[in-house]
Amino acid sequence: MNWIITDHNGRVISTSPTAVQLLNNHVPSNIRELCEDCPVNGRANQLFKKILNIGGLHYKPMSYEDDGRPRILWQTVDTDSITRLERLLSDERNFFDLIFNNVDSDIAIFDQHHRYRYVNRMGIADDQLRSWIIGKDDFDYCSYRNVPASQAFARRKRFEEAVKQAKTIKWKDHYLREGREQFVERILHPIFIDDKVKYVVGIGRDVTDYELLNRELRGSKERYERLFYENISGLFKSDLSGEFIEMNNAFAAIFGYEVNELMQMPAEVLYPSKTTREKYLADLEVTGILTNYTMYLRNKNGDEVIVLANIRLTRRDEPGGGTIQGALIDVTEERKAYKTINWLSSLAKESPDPIVRLDGITGEVLFMNIAAEDAFEGLDYELVLRGMFEEALTNSGEKSEQTMEIGDHWFVVRCAKIKSDNPYINFYFSDVTDEQMMIKELDRSISELNQRNENLKQFNFIVSHNLRAPISNLNGLTSLAKVKFGQLPDGLDEIFSHIASSSAKLDQVIIDLNHLLEVQSINQTAELFSVANCISEVISILEPEIQNAQATINVQVPEETDFYSIQSFVHSILHNLISNSLKYRDGSRKAVIEVIAGFQNNTLTLTVNDNGIGFDASNNDVFQPFKRQHHHVEGKGLGLSIVKAQVDQLKGKIHIHSNEETGSTFHVSIPAWK
């Protein structure tokens, strides 16, 4: 081998003996030029492709330093063998490239010192870098790419792991490059020759799409499971025989079971009978799908459960087929409520009383039952309802009631305002035509009665004033004769006394008639008074007559005699009965009259008992005005009529026991005034 050592200026420092000969004969003119391009760093000689050709010999340069002085050693090379080897290698590499560049993976081959021996185009796309990297390791690569050496360390670790374990290792690298994720699956496969590691093959495969898809799938599965198990609808899957494959909590809960419990049971337990299940299955068979299908099932307690089902049948020949799956919603409560609402609604519809509902804002008719339609038939009901609506709006109360005429009927209309998101007003009508007619009739009767009462008053006034005034004058005038002239001549005195007695009788008739009329007028007021005092008063007024009859009056009254009634009537009744007893006394015996008062259940009983001449009590005419039982005794026949009228007015009763030997007993009972 020949060699030449030069400095960087091309000056020859020393040569091998053969080279001296050659240099002497052929001094290369361009050696300086060559040397100037020669890099100082000896490791770069691979790139330093310049070859010095002297005397048919090829010199290859290699720079080095000799005591700090840069030197270049030029050594001869066997050009032929190099060229052959280079071609061989080049062919081989082209062959590998041809294959490996078409492989969808990064492929690199390292020697035992971690140096690249081969990288395919997938591994490194840049051809220049790809040829540069050969013989370099990952640290070179990192410094070249200007990336942290940590990557190289990590690789080295894996490399040593593969070598140490003497087996293929696999891992996945996850990168984030320019905001995009990348997943690379890497394999390091050591190759041993004579138990010593010679090469390590590295394969890298981009599995980003796979990883992302996988992640998506995993997410979907989680979502599906959550959707399934946490769904509020009851979800289930069973096979065709009714054996459950899966179900969620909601499904088991609809029927009052735990999932574990129901999973062990056949689907048949949920049906009221076997035939029911067969019927539902038959329906399902027809189309393979049931949508919003109502099923009547049974819960754990055997109670009816109504569900709304969406069920799909997958036939045996479909992939994953032979199953029934679906979703159920428990609508038992809703259906029950719906039934109630239905019932109420039909009640409103068929109610014999009209019912109308208006929108609480617009007044639009929302509902009108049959009775309402009948009531409004032939009428402009919208006008009527509009009026009612407006009145209801101004009415501050929640409820109101009024009576109104619609068509030829009268109705009491009750109104209920409902305040809610959808306010409305209900009107309930009650037909009160009959009542209204009765009220009208009653009003007319009352007004007639009032008129009659007025007439009676008027008549009473005529009796008490227009009739009585002249008679009392007549009476007065007759007595004046005596006042003025003292004793009258015999004949005249008799005439005057007859005039006086006639006018006195006439006056008494008018006074009685007046009392009778007064009783029948209605304006009497009740008061609390003492019955005992009342009896004493009557007796004291009748004292002259009692004296005259030489009669004995026995009075029996309880201690407490306060009573609520019309005092003047009670007074008049007693007055008439006692004066009757005095008047119709039996002259053959001493007159004894008993007056007894008593109370029972808020009722006053008065008994007037005499030992007089008596009369035929079977005759009902006894209470008729001007019917006299005895004509031999002076009387005008009004007394008992007045008593009867007053007792009637007090809502009381009167009974008479009388016979012509022992006398008469009058029983009067008067309830307390209400």
Partner 1 sequence: MNCGEILLVDDDPISLFITETIIASAASDVCTHQYEDASPAVDFICACEENLTVIFLDINLKDRTGWEVIDELRERVKDGTCKHIPPIVVLTSSIALSDKKKAEQYEEVIHFISKPFKPEHCQEVMHKIGLK
One of 112, 151, 208, 472 touching partner 1 (CB under 8 A):
472
CA distance 375 to 385: 12
φ, ψ dihedrals at 559, nearest 5°: -65, -45
Other Cβ atoms closer than 10 A to 234: 21
Region class of 601: left (phi > 0), else alpha (psi between -120 and 50), else beta: left
- Any contact of residue 455 with partner 1 (CB under 8 A)? no
Q: Is 279 helix (H, G, I), strand (E, B) or coil?
A: helix
**Cβ distance to partner 1 smaller for residue 527 or 660:** 527
- Any contact of residue 468 with partner 1 (CB under 8 A)? yes
Q: How far is the CB of 475 from partner 1 (least distance, A)?
A: 4
**Cβ distance to partner 1 smaller for residue 176 or 483:** 483
Which is nearest to 563 in space by CA: 602, 522, 523? 602
Beta strands in 31-179 (DSSP E): 52-54, 57-66, 69-77, 106-111, 116-119, 169-177
CA distance 109 to 93: 12
CA distance 372 to 365: 12
Cα radius of gyration rounded to whole Å, the chain: 69
Q: What angle do CA 192, 197, 198 make, to 5 degrees?
A: 85
**Cβ distance to partner 1 smaller for residue 147 or 522:** 522
Burial of 265 (0-12, 13-18, 19+ CB in 10 A): middle
The helix (H) or strand (E) run that includes residue 392 is helix 381-394
Q: How far is the CB of 477 from partner 1 (least distance, A)?
A: 6
503 contacts 478 by C-beta, under 8 angstroms: yes
Q: How far is the CB of 605 from partner 1 (least distance, A)?
A: 24
Q: How far is the CB of 527 from partner 1 (least distance, A)?
A: 11
Stretch that binds partner 1, among 110-118, 190-198, 348-356, 472-480 (CB under 8 A): 472-480
CA distance 247 to 438: 71
- Any contact of residue 417 with partner 1 (CB under 8 A)? no
**Cβ distance to partner 1 smaller for residue 138 or 518:** 518
Q: How far is the CB of 569 from partner 1 (least distance, A)?
A: 10
One of 272, 387, 476, 558 touching partner 1 (CB under 8 A):
476
Stretch that binds partner 1, among 231-239, 425-433, 508-516, 556-564 (CB under 8 A): 508-516
426 contacts 355 by C-beta, under 8 angstroms: yes
- Any contact of residue 469 with partner 1 (CB under 8 A)? yes
**Cβ distance to partner 1 smaller for residue 34 or 516:** 516
Which is nearest to 8 in space by CA: 49, 54, 42? 42
Stretch that binds partner 1, among 314-322, 351-359, 476-484, 649-657 (CB under 8 A): 476-484
One of 75, 233, 323, 475 touching partner 1 (CB under 8 A):
475
- Any contact of residue 483 with partner 1 (CB under 8 A)? yes
**Cβ distance to partner 1 smaller for residue 472 or 607:** 472
Site for partner 1 in 563-582 (CB under 8 A): 568
Q: How far is the CB of 396 from partner 1 (least distance, A)?
A: 45
64 contacts 73 by C-beta, under 8 angstroms: yes
- Any contact of residue 541 with partner 1 (CB under 8 A)? no
**Cβ distance to partner 1 smaller for residue 439 or 480:** 480
CA distance 228 to 250: 10
CA distance 595 to 37: 170
- Any contact of residue 514 with partner 1 (CB under 8 A)? yes
Stretch that binds partner 1, among 21-29, 82-90, 189-197, 459-467 (CB under 8 A): 459-467
85, 92, 341 from 88: Cα distances, Å: 5, 6, 97
One of 473, 602, 624, 659 touching partner 1 (CB under 8 A):
473
Stretch that binds partner 1, among 169-177, 507-515, 614-622, 629-637 (CB under 8 A): 507-515
User: Pairing between strand 592-600 and 552-556?
Assistant: parallel
**Cβ distance to partner 1 smaller for residue 277 or 515:** 515
**Cβ distance to partner 1 smaller for residue 72 or 471:** 471
- Any contact of residue 231 with partner 1 (CB under 8 A)? no
- Token digits for 517? 């009329």
- Any contact of residue 542 with partner 1 (CB under 8 A)? no
- Any contact of residue 522 with partner 1 (CB under 8 A)? no
Q: Which residues are paired to 399 by β-bridges?
A: 416
**Count of chain residues binding partner 1 (CB under 8 A):** 20
Q: Please, which residues have CB within 8 angstroms of residue 537's CB and are 6 or more apart in sequence?
A: 571
- Any contact of residue 465 with partner 1 (CB under 8 A)? yes
- Any contact of residue 480 with partner 1 (CB under 8 A)? yes
Contact set with partner 1 (CB under 8 A): 460, 464-465, 468-470, 472-473, 475-477, 479-480, 483-484, 511, 514-515, 518, 568
